[in-house]
């Protein structure tokens, strides 16, 4: 039952970055230029604040952050490479969790620690909320928190580079809700490869909006599910902006892996979305490696798929 509830959160991810441009215009007055005035400084964007560092063992480092984008605290777990403090610029593997899970799920329920040991890369496992969908929520058009995409890409990512020795060579993977997030974040740029395991990679496919509704209700009790992206008909453009299927053209040049199983209600839904997404990529002439199999919506298969995708992800970092 828990696997089914988690699968209902096959939700999705990513919305864009915001840039501010200030243009100074000099005007002539009576044929002479005005005296020089120092341009007004653009206020710095708010930054996430580290409020706790906790070393769990030789490789696991857990951070507690205060995020302006979330207007609250959140956590991220890191798997550090050996001799981490000997250099900067470590290549990075981001792993995103699914609905009802959190930043501990990958290390608690898979062998990612053993898989990556000795490979000279940092693994980043951020919290994405029980029903966060790796998105900046619409909130009835008002915006505001939670802004998960802004937190991950505009606050956490630069913090890891400036303070925790992460480099700019990055790949990303995720399961269920995190599979959608992985593809959406990769479509924003900055990731050389992306993998989705049982992900919601076509959120406008048959039955998926209803799964998002159910998943939000289960993962965040009392939360109106339309806060995430609005109504799938009335706010169609917002849904499409968060739908990997509709954003597929932005994945050109990214190495891609898409996997899904079949045999239970949730995984059958994920498989239909994955097949549609892979078909769309191929229509656009974008290469993708796929793996379709018999298996349910759970960590047994997500661990296996990470092992299948890992050689490709690692090659993309070299």
Greater pLDDT, 149 or 23: 149
Q: Which of 237, 229, 157 is nearest to 189 (CA)?
A: 157
Contact 198, 175 (CB under 8 A): yes
Contact 131, 11 (CB under 8 A): yes
What average pLDDT does this structure show over 106-122?
A: 97
Greater pLDDT, 27 or 9: 9
Residue 45 has pLDDT above 90, yes or no: no
Report pLDDT for 24. 28
Instruction: Please list the alpha-helical segments (H only) found in the chain.
Output: 2-8, 105-109, 112-116, 148-150, 157-163, 177-187, 208-219, 226-229, 236-241, 265-283, 299-317
What average pLDDT does this structure show over 76-90?
A: 97
Tens-place pLDDT, residues 233-290? 999 999 999 999 999 999 999 999 999 999 999 999 999 999 999 999 999 999 999 9
Residue 59 has pLDDT above 90, yes or no: yes
Report pLDDT for 98. 96
Beta strands in 80-149 (DSSP E): 90-96, 122-126
Q: Which of 147, 152, 208, 154 is nearest to 176 (CA)?
A: 208
Tens-place pLDDT, residues 188-212? 999 999 999 999 999 999 988 888 8
Residue 26 has pLDDT above 50, yes or no: no
Tens-place pLDDT, residues 65-75? 999 999 999 99
Report pLDDT for 185. 98
Contact 80, 275 (CB under 8 A): no
Query: For the stretch 269-304, what's the b/e string if a residue is b when 16 or more beta carbons lie within 10 angstroms of its beta carbon?
Result: bbbbbbbbbbebbeeeebebebeeeebbbbbebbbb
Residue 142 has pLDDT above 70, yes or no: yes
Contact 160, 166 (CB under 8 A): yes
Strands 72-79 and 60-67, how do they pair? antiparallel
Contact 242, 135 (CB under 8 A): yes
3-state DSSP call for residue 240? helix
Residue 118 Rama label (left phi>0; alpha psi -120 to 50; beta): left
Residue 66, burial from CB neighbour count under 10 angstroms (0-12, 13-18, 19+): middle
Report pLDDT for 44. 55
Please, what is the average pLDDT of the chain? 88
Report pLDDT for 196. 98
pTM of the model: 0.86
């Amino acid at each position: 039952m828990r696997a089914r509830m988690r699968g209902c959160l096959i939700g999705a991810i990513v919305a864009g970055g915001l840039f501010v441009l200030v243009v100074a215009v000099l005007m002539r007055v009576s044929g002479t230029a005005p005296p020089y005035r120092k341009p007004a400084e653009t206020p710095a964007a708010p930054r996430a604040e580290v409020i706790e560092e906790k070393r769990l063992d030789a490789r696991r480092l857990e951070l507690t952050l205060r995020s302006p984008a979330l207007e609250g605290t959140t956590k991220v777990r890191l798997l550090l490479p050996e001799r981490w403090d000997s250099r900067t610029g470590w290549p990075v593997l981001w792993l995103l969790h699914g609905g009802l899970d959190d930043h501990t799920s990958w290390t608690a329920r898979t062998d990612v620690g053993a898989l990556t040991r000795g490979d000279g890369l940092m693994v980043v496992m951020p919290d994405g909320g029980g029903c966060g969908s790796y998105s900046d929520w619409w909130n009835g058009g008002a915006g505001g928190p939670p802004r998960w995409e802004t937190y991950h890409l505009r606050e956490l990512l630069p913090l890891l580079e400036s303070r925790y020795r992460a480099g700019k060579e990055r790949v990303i993977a995720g399961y269920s809700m995190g599979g959608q997030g992985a593809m959406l974040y990769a479509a924003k740029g900055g990731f050389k490869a992306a993998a989705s395991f049982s992900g919601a990679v076509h959120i406008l496919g048959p039955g998926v909006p209803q799964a998002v509704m159910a998943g939000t209700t289960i993962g965040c009790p009392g939360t109106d599910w339309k806060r995430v992206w609005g109504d799938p008909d009335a706010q169609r453009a917002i849904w499409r902006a968060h739908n990997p299927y509709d954003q597929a053209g932005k994945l050109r040049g990214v190495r891609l892996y898409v996997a899904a199983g079949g045999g239970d209600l949730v995984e059958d839904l994920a498989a239909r979305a994955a097949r549609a997404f892979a078909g769309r990529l191929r229509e656009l002439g974008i290469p993708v490696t796929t793996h379709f199999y018999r298996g349910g919506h759970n960590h047994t298969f997500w661990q296996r798929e990470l092992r299948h995708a890992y050689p490709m992800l690692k090659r993309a970092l070299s």
